[in-house]
Amino acid sequence: MIYRKFPYFILACVVLQSPVKAQTHPDLGALADFPKQDRVWLGAAIGEIAINPFMKIEVKTLGTLDWRVKTGEIVKEDQIICLTDSKKIELSARELDLKKNKYQNSLKDIQAAIQDKKKALQTSIAEIEVQIAGMTLTETENKLLGSNFAKRLNAERAGIQQELEISRNKLDSDYFDVAIQNETRSLDLEIEKAEYEHEQLQRNSEIRAPAPGRISIETNEILKPDSLAARIIKDGTAEARLELTDPRLRNAIAEELAIQITGEDGRAYQGTYLETLSEQSMARNARIIIFSINPPASDQAIPESLNGTRMLQIQKALPKPGRIVPKADLIFKFPEEINKNGWAQFIEKRWVGSKVTYVGPRDLVILKPDED
């Protein structure tokens, strides 16, 4: 079946050229005679209905899957259901545990090594002091060895004296304490890095449930990238999947949309907004709107016959219920007045005190004074 959509201005022109037909419409009556609803029609589009919909879980990592749940089990959203590299995680955990066990011994080794350096420096200072004392000449030695030798000796002794001062400053300051602190921090950093790498490995290996539902495990082995590993099935629910391609609806606020489907049983099934998905399709970014379909009554199930491709009536969910008045009823009766004054002014005069809250493609939403 082919659906043709005619813009409003064509309809108005036809009406203006057919005054005789307009006179055949009866009086509009009271506003209370029109139905009061919380939705108004926007358009129609083809969508996909899924009874007991499911979400695919695809894995890109090659290897064996380590399932943490059993097929048929009910899982919660974000629950860890599988690991893709459990053996590597186990080895990483053992390596991290070994590094932590070695930590205290390594810390003791560092402290002992620093103490040995401190003692060696103390010994070196004592030896330098003896060496400096041996380089002091008496007057007789100065005369015998000459002034040039004495100058060279004094210069050498001054250099050794400077080295002694540096060593004493190291010994008297916090030099060795800072050295121990730095080595300890280096060990801590090594442990922290190992913990982070282990956590990253574990996090990258985890597969979590994208939604609550019943899990159906498809395989334990991943043979190629993007293999289907499992499905999360939402039992007892129905969803509609819709891509808005109509330019007049493409920019509609998804959260304000609703749908209605008529089943083979003649019942009208309502759908409420659930979520919006963004998918890449044929080199373009497609906006997919998902609706949750509600049964006519709480004790009724959605029939399996509703499953598949169907025409969906797209509606706008109203913040407050209003009277739904078909625009055609008014256009055929009062074309000139509506074209001259507009909808809002015409409605205020036609039903005093009422106001238009929304102008849809084919209907007006009007609030009575006592319903405002």
Query: Are 246 and 294 found together in one domain?
Result: yes
Query: Are 146 and 275 found together in one domain?
Result: no
Is the pLDDT assigned to residue 359 strictly greater than 90?
yes
Cβ neighbours for 141, distance < 8 A, ≥ 6 positions apart: none
Cβ neighbours for 47, distance < 8 A, ≥ 6 positions apart: 240, 241, 242, 259, 309, 310, 311, 312
Query: Are 187 and 285 found together in one domain?
Result: no
| Closest residue by Cα to residue 7 from 316, 260, 247 | 247
- On whether residue 191 sits in a domain, the answer given is yes
- On whether residue 44 sits in a domain, the answer given is yes
Is the pLDDT assigned to residue 61 strictly greater than 60?
yes
Query: Are 46 and 110 found together in one domain?
Result: no
Query: Are 279 and 361 found together in one domain?
Result: yes
SS3 95: helix
Per-residue pLDDT, averaged over 147-168, amounts to 73
Query: Are 73 and 47 found together in one domain?
Result: no
- On whether residue 3 sits in a domain, the answer given is no
Query: Are 143 and 122 found together in one domain?
Result: yes
Q: How many CB atoms neighbour CB 303 within 10 A? A: 15
| Closest residue by Cα to residue 210 from 68, 61, 52, 76 | 76
| Closest residue by Cα to residue 88 from 196, 198, 226, 185 | 198
Is the pLDDT assigned to residue 19 strictly greater than 70?
no
pLDDT tens digits, 227-265? 888 999 988 889 999 988 888 888 889 999 999 998 888
Query: Are 194 and 288 found together in one domain?
Result: no
Query: Are 69 and 136 found together in one domain?
Result: no
Residue ranges making up the domain that contains 72 = 57-79+209-232
Q: 303 falls in which pLDDT band (50, 70, 90)? A: confident
Given 204, 222, 244, which residue is the final one in a domain?
Answer: 204
Query: Are 271 and 365 found together in one domain?
Result: yes
According to the model, what pLDDT value does residue 26 have?
Answer: 46
CA–centroid distance for 250 within its chain: 23
Helix runs in 60-134, H state only: 86-134
- On whether residue 355 sits in a domain, the answer given is yes
Please list the residues that pair with 96 across neighbouring strands: none
- On whether residue 279 sits in a domain, the answer given is yes
Q: Report CA-CA distances (Å) from 154 to 68, 103, 136, 167, 203.
A: 80, 50, 8, 20, 69
Per-residue pLDDT, averaged over 83-95, amounts to 86
pLDDT tens digits, 107-120? 887 878 878 787 87
Domain count of the fold of the chain = 3
- Average pLDDT, whole number, for the chain? 81
Is the pLDDT assigned to residue 315 strictly greater than 60?
yes
According to the model, what pLDDT value does residue 68 have?
Answer: 92
Q: 23 falls in which pLDDT band (50, 70, 90)? A: very low
Say what percent of the chain tops pLDDT 90: 30
Helices 147-172 and 175-205 pack at an angle, to 10 degrees, of 50
Cβ neighbours for 208, distance < 8 A, ≥ 6 positions apart: 78, 79, 80, 81
Burial of 165 (0-12, 13-18, 19+ CB in 10 A): exposed
Is the pLDDT assigned to residue 16 strictly greater than 50?
no
Is the pLDDT assigned to residue 15 strictly greater than 80?
no
CA–centroid distance for 233 within its chain: 21
According to the model, what pLDDT value does residue 6 have?
Answer: 33
Pairwise CA distance, residues 57 & 54, whole Å = 10
Q: How many CB atoms neighbour CB 51 within 10 A? A: 19
Lowest mean pLDDT among 18-32, 209-223, 233-247: 18-32
Lowest mean pLDDT among 7-11, 271-275, 286-290, 305-309: 7-11
Is the pLDDT assigned to residue 209 strictly greater than 90?
yes
- On whether residue 19 sits in a domain, the answer given is yes
Cβ neighbours for 190, distance < 8 A, ≥ 6 positions apart: 99
Tokens of 124: 């070196």
Query: Are 225 and 238 found together in one domain?
Result: no
Q: Which residue has the higher pLDDT, 249 or 44?
A: 44
Per-residue pLDDT, averaged over 34-62, amounts to 90
pLDDT tens digits, 264-283? 888 889 999 999 988 776 66
pLDDT tens digits, 126-149? 777 777 666 666 666 666 666 676
Query: Are 185 and 294 found together in one domain?
Result: no
Say what percent of the chain tops pLDDT 70: 85
According to the model, what pLDDT value does residue 224 have?
Answer: 73
According to the model, what pLDDT value does residue 145 have?
Answer: 63
| Closest residue by Cα to residue 5 from 314, 359, 357, 364 | 314
Q: Report CA-CA distances (Å) from 101 to 94, 179, 210, 213, 357.
A: 11, 22, 38, 42, 72
Pairwise CA distance, residues 4 & 11, whole Å = 13
- On whether residue 2 sits in a domain, the answer given is no
Per-residue pLDDT, averaged over 151-167, amounts to 74
